[in-house]
Amino acid sequence: MESRVEEEKKQEIPLITPYQMGIFQLSHRVVLAPLTRQRSFGGIPQPHAAVQYAQRASNGGLLIAEATWISETATGYPNTPGISTKEQIEAWKPIVDAVHAKGAVFFCQIWHCGRVSHYDFQPNGQPPISSTGKVLAPQIEINGVDVAHFSPPRPLRTDEIPGVLNHFRLAARNAIEAGFDGVEIHGAHGYLIDQFLKDQVNDRRDEYGGSLEKRCRFALEVVEVVASEIGAGRVGIRLSPFANFNESADSNPDALGLYMAKALNKYNILYCHVVEPRMTKVGEKAECHESLWPMRKAFKGTFMVAGGYEREDGNQAVAENRADLVAYGRLFLANLDLPKRFELDAPLNKCNRATYYTPHPVIGYTDYPFLETTSM
């Protein structure tokens, strides 16, 4: 048992305080953010993923699995996992079991890339589907050398949208069958849902484009079908109204974020996970005067934030009631026992960006060291 002094010391650290998230009793507020690692060969989660997630699981901690595609049209990157087939469901089960064995809560992020794709990833080499026909410009890949090219997308017809909604619904059902505690809908970073939300991308003239309310319709319909399928208390959504990832800026991100935060209350979902305004480009953090406070005040469920947080500003966000939970990506990638390190204010391992997306099942994946003193 912890001594009284140790317990009092823990209570002084806002991130290391308990939190009741719906039916889930969390022991701390440090969340593993969804991190694409491209080690699911052929779209099938691999046994090494069980090691990776279990290493980062702690009793009463919350983990969000990497972006997981919902259908054969949904992928845009090699070696990312799916949750649309029986084989994929069965492959996820031992991974989920390994996390649960550590006493952690595990959500699956369900994802459709939309236009962030190429003919090579699509069934029969078809155009990727999107809200628009506008193509993404080529991008330098993470290694700083190779260039990613994207194929011209095809705008979804209105009569096709129910089919895509059904894929989100089935993916949520499959995630629960695999043992996940819930799902996070990926509505951020310029992928399909964000392609509907943002006016830089969405150029539709039907009931899914034009006004703010119409641009948000698709996202809210996804929330509705997923919540109806698995229960609102097991559903979260990730949003990035201020970000311009994948050429997905919006002319009025404050209005977009606030509208979504208010509209989500109708569905009583568990949490809203929002990327900070300061994170406008992948891996780049800048100070800004904008704030998520309006969204925080408007949304009635658990409010989670992400985007370049470290120990100090994460503690401050919780202490000032700007967030209930703080999601960490790169720091959690390199520090398997990040909550314990935050508790002890221990030194942190450094990330090796060169190994973020390699296919190796160990290097840069499960070989970061734990603290020598303890593990959670």
What would the pLDDT profile of 167-194 be if each residue is shown by its tens digit? Answer: 999 999 999 999 999 999 999 999 999 9
For the residues of 10-48, what is the DSSP string, one character each?
HHTSGGGS-EEETTEEES-SEEE--------GGG---HH
Question: Is 191 one of the annotated active-site residues of the chain?
Answer: yes
Cβ(166)–Cβ(95) below 8 Å? no
pLDDT of residue 305: 97
User: Who's near 235: CB < 8 A, 6+ residues apart?
Assistant: 172, 182, 183, 184, 185, 223, 226, 227, 267, 269, 270
Instruction: Could you list the beta-strand ranges (E) of 192-295.
Output: 235-239, 271-275
Task: Please list the residues that pair with 255 across neighbouring strands.
Answer: none
Tokens of residue 324, six digits: 């209930």
Tokens of residue 31, six digits: 């969340």
CA distance 62 to 234: 13
Percent share of the chain, pLDDT over 70? 91
Is the pLDDT reported for residue 285 higher than 80?
no
- Picking from 294, 270, 249, 226, the residue whose alpha carbon sits closest to that of residue 23 is 270
Instruction: Could you list the beta-strand ranges (E) of 115-200.
Output: 129-130, 139-140, 147-148, 154-155, 182-187
Q: Which one is catalytic: 19, 53, 119, 191? A: 191
Look at the block and give the residue holding tokens 């484009």.
209
Percent share of the chain, pLDDT over 90? 88
- Per-residue b/e over 233-269, b at no fewer than 16 CB within 10 Å? bbbbbbbbbbbbbbbbbbeebbebbbbbbebbeebeb
* CB atoms inside a 10 Å sphere around CB 310: 13
* Residue scoring higher pLDDT (269 or 374): 269
CA distance 88 to 78: 15
Of the chain, the end-to-end C-alpha distance in Å amounts to 14
CA distance 113 to 360: 24
Is the pLDDT reported for residue 226 higher than 50?
yes
Cβ(293)–Cβ(274) below 8 Å? no
Greatest mean pLDDT among 142-156, 203-217, 349-363 = 203-217
pLDDT digits (tens, 9 = 90+) for 68-90: 999 999 999 999 999 999 999 99
pLDDT of residue 27: 98
Is the pLDDT reported for residue 243 higher than 50?
yes
Taken in order 76, 63, 343, 302, the sign of the CA dihedral is positive
Q: Band of the pLDDT at 375, cuts 50, 70, 90?
A: very low
- Picking from 277, 337, 335, 334, the residue whose alpha carbon sits closest to that of residue 307 is 277
